[in-house]
């Protein structure tokens, strides 16, 4: 009887959890669709900015020697997102130099890495954390870009962004992208839309490039933020879908175990009744 009660409690517990995971899946699906729509509306803009800057930068001599790297990483504020955060942290752990590098962490789930750095006596001015909600991120974006440009021009640090690149509702990947110095994408230069053929730049490209770097960084960072947010919701939807599926599988196994236990109990009681009847003869 105790075993039947235990199996019943486990079934009820899993059913309760399943209700939550299935509800979270529906919410994440709705949020991912909304985020994807915003990403599609914005993506053409920041890709065009990237093409223009690539076209300018190909004729400009950029810095080649650096003392370290200033990282921007995108994590989530909430959990239950599968490997979304751990994949980002894995990349930054493999690349971060404790002696020379700085980091801006977007999303509270990256704070664990910030605490890890703090425990190794990393100076506080080398670690900056920002919440990943859109208002907080947008509010701090201009100041963040100012800090990054200062790191690049004054402190001789490369600027690298680690974010989750969105491909589809089932495909997204943690990606490291060097923002400064500008890594020229040959696909942009070889595209059918040859920007140089239809554009005249004033003033000279070197001066112009330095003037538009803040716009370039703001555009790309906000684009990567949208990519990361869309990937986060998609990752949470996939995680909740898998959790609900696993819960259904566990319920089936528990149901079989419960029925077997109950059948064994009934069989035992029948045997006892028959045995008692036989003894009375």
Query: Which range of residues forms the domain containing residue 254?
Result: 2-20+240-280
Residues 182 and 247 placed together within one structural domain of the fold: no
Residues 247 and 233 placed together within one structural domain of the fold: no
Residues 201 and 132 placed together within one structural domain of the fold: yes
Residues 198 and 275 placed together within one structural domain of the fold: no
Residues 168 and 275 placed together within one structural domain of the fold: no
Please tell me the predicted confidence (pLDDT) of residue 142: 86
**pTM (predicted TM-score):** 0.84
Instruction: List, run by run, the mean pLDDT of 10-residue segments along the chain (281 residues).
Output: 76 87 91 92 91 86 88 91 92 91 90 83 80 80 90 94 92 94 74 60 78 92 94 92 88 82 74 67 63
Please tell me the predicted confidence (pLDDT) of residue 181: 92
Residues 198 and 59 placed together within one structural domain of the fold: yes
Contact 164, 87 (CB under 8 A): yes
Residues 255 and 211 placed together within one structural domain of the fold: no
Contact 223, 76 (CB under 8 A): no
Residues 152 and 255 placed together within one structural domain of the fold: no
Q: How far from the centroid of its chain's Cα atoms is residue 83's Cα?
A: 8
Please tell me the predicted confidence (pLDDT) of residue 178: 94
Contact 83, 27 (CB under 8 A): no
C-alpha distances (whole Å) from 134 to each of 87, 140, 220 are 22, 10, 15
Q: Return the SS3 of 1.
A: coil
Residues 144 and 6 placed together within one structural domain of the fold: no
Return the CATH number at 16.
1.10.287.80
Task: Give the largest CA-CA distance in the chain.
Answer: 114
Residues 7 and 128 placed together within one structural domain of the fold: no
Please tell me the predicted confidence (pLDDT) of residue 189: 60
Q: What angle do CA 144, 187, 47 make, to 5 degrees?
A: 35
In a domain, residue 25? The reply is no
Residues 161 and 53 placed together within one structural domain of the fold: yes
Domain count, the chain: 2
- Among 243, 236, 239, 245, residue whose Cα is nearest residue 28: 236
- Among 238, 232, 234, residue whose Cα is nearest residue 78: 232
In a domain, residue 31? The reply is no
- DSSP states of 79-142: ---TTHHHHHHHHHHHH--TTT-EEEEESGGGHHHHHHHHTTT--GGGEEEE--SHHHHHHHHH
Please tell me the predicted confidence (pLDDT) of residue 159: 95
What CA dihedral angle connects 231, 117, 66 and 155, to 10 degrees?
A: 100
Residue 73, both tokens: 């990483």
- Among 232, 230, 66, residue whose Cα is nearest residue 160: 66
Residues 93 and 14 placed together within one structural domain of the fold: no
Element (H, E) at 59: none
State the Cα–Cα distance between residues 107 and 203, nearest whole angstrom: 39
Q: How confident is the model over 179-227, as pLDDT tens digits?
A: 999 988 776 666 555 665 556 666 778 888 888 899 999 999 999 999 9
Sheet holding 127-130, edge to edge: 127-130, 102-106, 68-74, 157-168, 171-180
Please tell me the predicted confidence (pLDDT) of residue 195: 62
How many helices (H) and strands (E) in the chain?
A: 7, 5
Return the CATH number at 206.
3.40.1380.10
Residue 113, both tokens: 């890495």
């Amino acid at each position: 009887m105790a075993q039947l009660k235990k199996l019943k409690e486990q079934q009820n517990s899993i059913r309760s959890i399943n209700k939550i995971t299935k509800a979270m899946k529906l919410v994440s699906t709705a949020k991912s669709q909304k985020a994807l729509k915003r990403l599609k509306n914005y993506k053409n803009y920041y890709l065009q900015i990237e093409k223009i800057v690539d076209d300018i930068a190909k004729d400009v001599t950029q810095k080649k020697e650096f003392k370290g790297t200033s990282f921007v990483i995108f994590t989530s504020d909430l959990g239950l997102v599968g490997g979304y955060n751990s994949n980002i942290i894995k990349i930054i752990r493999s690349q971060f130099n404790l002696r020379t590098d700085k980091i801006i962490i977007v999303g509270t789930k990256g704070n664990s890495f910030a605490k890890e750095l703090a425990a190794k006596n990393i100076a506080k001015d080398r670690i900056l954390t920002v919440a990943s909600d859109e208002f907080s991120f947008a509010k701090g974006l201009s100041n963040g870009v100012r800090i990054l440009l200062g790191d690049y021009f004054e402190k001789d640090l490369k600027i690298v962004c680690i974010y989750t690149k969105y491909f589809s509702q089932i495909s997204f990947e943690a990606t490291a992208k060097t923002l400064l110095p500008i890594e020229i994408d040959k696909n942009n230069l070889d595209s059918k839309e040859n920007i140089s053929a239809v554009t005249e730049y004033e003033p000279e490209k070197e001066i112009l490039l330095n003037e538009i770097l803040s716009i370039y960084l703001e555009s790309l960072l906000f684009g990567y933020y949208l990519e990361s947010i869309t990937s986060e919701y998609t990752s949470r939807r996939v995680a909740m879908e898998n959790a609900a599926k696993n819960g259904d599988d566990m319920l089936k196994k528990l149901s079989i175990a419960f029925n077997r236990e109950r059948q064994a109990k009934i069989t035992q009681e029948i045997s006892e009744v028959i045995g008692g009847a036989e003894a009375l003869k």
